[in-house]
């Protein structure tokens, strides 16, 4: 990676962390520059610009995760990996919530294009889960099953954050793994 | 209601709407005073003070709802009312999310006492649902059932907001009513 790209990446990583930990609206360009130790001006002119770069980074991360899971031959094992992915970060979820879910919650209240920016991440997630259910031969209700699974994990993540209790996400994940068996 | 109380109430109502529509962090004391057309200084000194009053108001609203539903003799009908309460506001949920859920999401990321302020509303909700499941003779798993129902609605509300699509909440509510039949 060139030095220039490295500096840009440091800014995006810093913005990603700060937006997750303290919300987009509470994060200033100055916060991001300070955390990254890189002056912002040369790379991003506005907060919206850097938010777009953060969403692109998260989309690339999601693509990488999905590609990894697609190497797993057993389809239900893929979906179990999806569920336990949340579980692995349960302490962080108890502190800051789900990175994707909280961004959708915050940006969703805004007006204009920015309001839809994080929706693409959620859509990609629901679509990937739906594809797995289709591969399981659930074509007629794959959309409903995918929506159900993602909503249950998002609701579980919100309650984990609200009560600062990682045990909630663990219990929710366990219930969803049992549910998955029965599908 | 005295004129003084009326002015205080106007401030709380304005703050409640603004916090719901544009988040707590984006709402200024000046916004609230302007919307209520009442000078803030005499009633609330800080944003945290008015946030506490908003949470108290929402708690009173919840108590009133729960008391109304407790007049319904059939316990499953009470829970159906709880589920369809969300459905009635599905257009608003598609625009701003769930008022309680989005407040829990936002405040949960903060540090200190304020981080737990909205958790009491969620706790009250889960407890009320749990009490209904206990009345249905589900004492051994009433906690899990309550957590499941509230999480599913919260996740459904988040996806409704994310995709700006009231149909998601309608489909999620319908699924939950079917689930409730089977409990």
Contacts with A, B 122-141, CB within 8 Å: 122-123, 126
State the Cα–Cα distance between residues A20 and A28, nearest whole angstrom: 13
Q: Which of B146, B151, B175 to mutate to test the interface with A (most CBs of A within 10 A)?
A: B151
Min Cα separation A97/chain B (Å): 7
Domains of chain A: 1-56 (1.10.10), 72-183 (1.10.357.10)
State the Cα–Cα distance between residues B21 and A89, nearest whole angstrom: 30
Q: Is the pLDDT of residue A70 over 60?
A: yes
State the Cα–Cα distance between residues B46 and B59, nearest whole angstrom: 20
Cβ separation B119–A175 shorter than 8 A:
no
Q: Is the pLDDT of residue A126 over 80?
A: yes
Min Cα separation B29/chain A (Å): 16
Q: Which of B87, B146, B154 is nearest to B118 (CA)?
A: B154
Cβ separation A159–B172 shorter than 8 A:
no
Q: Which of B98, B108, B124, B175 to mutate to test the interface with A (most CBs of A within 10 A)?
A: B108
Question: How is residue B169 written in tokens?
Answer: 């909440």
Sorted by sequence, the CB contacts under 8 Å of residue B146 that are 6+ apart come out as B126, B127, B129, B130, B132, B133
Q: Is the pLDDT of residue B4 over 90?
A: no
B92 touches chain A (CB under 8 A): no
ipTM value, please give it. 0.94
Tokens 């009320």, residue? B128
Q: Which of A4, A102, A112 is nearest to B154 (CA)?
A: A102
**Region class of B101: left (phi > 0), else alpha (psi between -120 and 50), else beta:** alpha
Give the relative orientation of helices A99-108 and B99-108 as an angle to the nearest 10 degrees. 120
A180 touches chain B (CB under 8 A): no
Least confident of A86-90, A159-163, B78-82, B91-95: A86-90
Cβ separation A23–B101 shorter than 8 A:
no
Q: What would the mean pLDDT of A113-119 be, rounded to a whole number?
A: 92
Cβ separation A161–B104 shorter than 8 A:
yes
Q: Which of A64, A56, A70 is nearest to A121 (CA)?
A: A56
Determine what percent of chain A is predicted with pLDDT higher than 90: 86
Query: Alpha carbon of B100 to those of B103, B113, B154, B171, B179: distances in Å?
Result: 5, 17, 9, 21, 23
pLDDT tier at B1 (50, 70, 90 boundaries)? low
Nearest Cβ partner for A159 among B109, B122, B175? B122
Q: Which residues of A touch B109 (CB under 8 A)?
A: 21-23, 95-97, 102, 161
- Number of Cβ pairs closer than 8 Å across A and B? 130
Question: How is residue A90 written in tokens?
Answer: 């349960």
Query: Higher-confidence residue: A5 or A176?
Result: A176
Cβ separation A155–B154 shorter than 8 A:
yes
Nearest Cβ partner for A152 among B21, B123, B155? B155
Query: How many degrees, rounded to 5, is the angle at CA A158 between CA B179 and CA B169?
Result: 45
Least confident of A4-13, A47-56, B91-100: A4-13
Using a 10 angstrom Cβ sphere, with 0-12 exposed, 13-18 middle and 19 or more buried, the burial of residue B21 is middle
Q: Is the pLDDT of residue B15 over 90?
A: yes
Query: How many degrees, rounded to 5, is the angle at CA A24 between CA B27 and CA B162?
Result: 90
The residue of chain B nearest to residue A173, with distances taken between CA atoms, is: B148
Counting DSSP H helices and E strands in chain B, the numbers are: 9, 0
Q: What would the mean pLDDT of B124-134 be, rounded to a whole number?
A: 98
Q: What is the pLDDT of residues B136-164, one digit of tens each?
A: 999 889 999 999 999 999 999 999 999 99
Sorted by sequence, the CB contacts under 8 Å of residue A39 that are 6+ apart come out as A33
State the Cα–Cα distance between residues B125 and A123, nearest whole angstrom: 29
A179 touches chain B (CB under 8 A): no
Cβ separation A118–B162 shorter than 8 A:
yes
Q: Which residues of B touch A171 (CB under 8 A)?
A: 144, 147
A91 touches chain B (CB under 8 A): no
Question: What's the pLDDT at B135?
Answer: 96
Question: How is residue A99 written in tokens?
Answer: 């990175």
What does the mean pLDDT of chain A come to?
Answer: 94
Q: What is the pLDDT of residues B29-70, one digit of tens each?
A: 999 999 999 987 789 999 999 999 999 999 999 999 999 999
The residue of chain B nearest to residue A119, with distances taken between CA atoms, is: B162
Question: What's the pLDDT at B88?
Answer: 82
Task: Give the 3-state DSSP-derived string for chain A, with helices as H, strands as E and coil as C.
Answer: CCHHHHHHHHHHHHHHHHHHHHCCCCCCHHHHHHHHCCCCCCCCCCHHHHHHHHHHHHHHHHHHHHHHHHCCCCHHHHHHHHHHHHHHCHHHHHHHCCHHHHHHHHHHCCCCHHHHCCHHHHHHHHHHHHHHHHHCCCHHHHHHHHHHHHHHHHHHHHHHHHCCCHHHHHHHHHHHHHHHHHC
């Amino acid at each position: 990676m060139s030095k220039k790209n490295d500096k840009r990446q440091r800014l995006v990583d810093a913005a990603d962390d700060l937006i997750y930990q303290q919300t987009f609206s509470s994060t200033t360009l100055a916060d991001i520059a300070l955390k990254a130790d890189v002056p912002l001006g040369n790379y991003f002119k506005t907060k919206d610009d850097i938010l777009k770069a953060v969403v692109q980074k998260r989309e690339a991360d999601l693509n990488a995760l999905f590609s990894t899971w697609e190497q797993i031959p057993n389809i239900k094992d893929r979906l179990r990996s999806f569920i336990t992915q949340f579980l692995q970060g349960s302490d962080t979820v108890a502190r800051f919530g789900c990175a994707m879910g909280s961004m959708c919650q915050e940006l969703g209240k805004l007006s204009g294009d920015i309001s839809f920016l994080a929706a693409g991440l959620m859509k990609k997630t629901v679509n990937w889960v739906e594809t797995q259910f289709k591969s399981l031969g659930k074509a007629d209700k794959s959309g409903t099953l995918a929506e159900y699974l993602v909503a249950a994990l998002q609701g579980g993540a919100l309650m984990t954050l609200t009560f600062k209790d990682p045990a909630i996400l663990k219990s929710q994940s366990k219930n969803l793994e049992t549910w998955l068996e029965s599908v």
